[in-house]
Amino acid sequence: MRAFLNKRKKLAAVLLLLLTAGGIFAFSEGDKYFQIAKNLDIFAAFYRELNTYYVDDLPPEKVIHKGIEAILEETDPFTDFVTEENLDDLKFMATGKYGGVGASINKSGDWTIITDVYEGSPMYKAGVKPGDIIVTMDGKSVKNTPQEEISKTLKGAPGTSLDILFRNPVSGVETPRKIVREEINVKAVSYTGITGGDIGYIRMTQFTENSGAMVRAAVQQLKQSNPGMKGLILDLRGNPGGLLDEAVVVANIFVDKNKLIVSTKGKVKNWDRNYETSEQPVDTRLPLAVLTNHSSASASEIVAGAVQDMDRGLVIGQRSYGKGLVQTTRQLPYNTKLKVTTAKYYTPSGRCIQAIDYSHRNEDGSVDYVPDSLRKKFTTQGGREVRDGGGIEPDATVEPTYISQVAVSLIRKQYIFDYATTYYYKHPKVAPAGDFSLTDEEFSDFERYLDNKDYSYKTRSEDALETFKTTARKEKYYDALTKELEALEQKMKHDKKQDLLKNKTEIKRLLEEEIVNRYYAQQGRIAKSLAWDRDVNEAISVLHDAVRYKKLLSPGK
């Protein structure tokens, strides 16, 4: 956070925009609006004088944008000024649509490579594969071109074309392709299927326009195709939210018509509103598990909170993010917008799950989480105790899965990705995604592939020892402990080969996911991951155990 005095200087610039010449209304001295008008006038005069007499030129747009940024530092991170060039990003958040080619990219040395191709997209139709290297775009070499610049070029109005020269990562053969941009619609439901034999599974990645209808159709399709289905998992992990109305539509799939799902309350009382279900549900009895983690936010938490408060199902996984704020967009001049927090939302039990208190700042401008001591108790319809102020706490907590340091290094250095590319060109066909498995000999081949490759890393224990040594030096204990610390350091030195074997199961799974992604796209990756997903397996276990399911939904569990 910048110091207040520095912020004040920056505020002068932007507030000039808000002031009309003259036109200051008369208010009483104690009136808040008089204070606003008074200070707007002061800041406008300040900027006018500064701009006129300051020794160097002050570019208005740059100065004003800095002023806007300074104002926004006093708000929450969800309130933002949206420039004209960023309106497409705002549209994508609401609709899940953008103009482009339908592929993900990443840097690999001097070049940019394709990491994912969306099924049915322009890149997919052109035969582009993950691992392909972008050599030129419209005849211009893109070697050492920043990834952001390439990403911007790949996006564009539907119907426009882009000539790209690709290099095969294995053969080195270069192939020119004309890619015609289309409207790309990122699906809110990224996977639907059966797991655990008889448990439906739906992964929802965002709450964009019509996403609720997509989830409803997915539930109906699962029920129709699997009449013996014993339960359903709605996976909202990593889902950052989106449109509040769509959250109500999703909740409506599982609860009766005319039920309160969420209410919003803000400064403008006329905008306060209760959101109730308006359609007949698909199923109100099928055992339900909603998966959350710390990246499940906003609309995801509305659904999870409603399911929990109404005792319609269980929340499983980790505590959610804790975003209980509602944003509205307001039109500004010159095709710009203000995305502003206008209200807080409350689950059916009356709790607001906002975890960070932005209204009370520390002296340095920082903000804190709501302490547990101030979190109030509420009750679900069935009498279970729930709390506000800290996201949605799961009914069945699962410890998060952490990837080993050696696996993190292999991912960052792209060795798992590159090996999957090599594997793909050596094997024209593989087993279905859920059945595919690397043999021990193939894993040994991966080990040989890593020979003479640098994937050095520090273990967490080594980092902790380094911190301890630094502290010991500061406190003058290091000399007395030198021998012991050196002996401990020697014992902790890790053998990369041994770490590979020690974490073989984990690395093998990561390899398998990346490989099946080449043959069956994102659907295949998800299908392969379900077998060892701890949150999913816990949900399957609970949904298969009627006694435990009922107990977790009972007060005083």
User: Mind telling me the catalytic residues?
Assistant: 298, 309, 323
Q: What are phi and psi of 214, to 5 degrees?
A: -65, -40
Rounding to the nearest 10 degrees, give the CA dihedral for residues 530, 531, 533, 538: 110
Give the whole-angstrom CA distance, residue 315 versus residue 307.
Answer: 8
For 333-392, where are the E strands, in sequence order? 336-346, 356-357, 368-369, 377-379, 385-387
Please say whether the beta carbons of 169 and 114 come within 8 A.
no
At 345, list the tokens.
Answer: 């939302």
At 249, list the tokens.
Answer: 């539509």
8-state DSSP, 394: P
* Chain length of the chain: 557
Give the whole-angstrom CA distance, residue 337 versus residue 93.
Answer: 14
Q: Which residues pair with 229 in a beta bridge?
A: none
Which residue in the block uniquely carries the two structure tokens 């699906």?
A: 187
8-state DSSP, 538: H
- In angstroms, the Cα distances linking 85 to 37, 96, 109, 149, 336 are 31, 17, 29, 14, 9
Give the whole-angstrom CA distance, residue 236 versus residue 207.
Answer: 10
Looking at residue 537, its amino acid is: N
Please say whether the beta carbons of 325 and 346 come within 8 A.
no
Please say whether the beta carbons of 326 and 264 come within 8 A.
yes
Give the whole-angstrom CA distance, residue 321 versus residue 324.
Answer: 9
Please say whether the beta carbons of 163 and 193 come within 8 A.
no
Give the whole-angstrom CA distance, residue 272 versus residue 88.
Answer: 29
Buried b (16+ CB within 10 A) or exposed e, 471-491: ebeeeeeeeeeeeebeeeeee
At 376, list the tokens.
Answer: 């109030």
Contacts of 299 (CB under 8 A, 6+ apart): 207, 239, 241, 242, 243, 244, 246, 247
At 129, list the tokens.
Answer: 């594969």
Contacts of 307 (CB under 8 A, 6+ apart): 251, 254, 255, 288, 290, 313, 314, 315
Give the whole-angstrom CA distance, residue 514 versus residue 417.
Answer: 7
8-state DSSP, 207: B
Give the whole-angstrom CA distance, residue 33 versus residue 476.
Answer: 59
Please say whether the beta carbons of 135 and 112 come within 8 A.
no
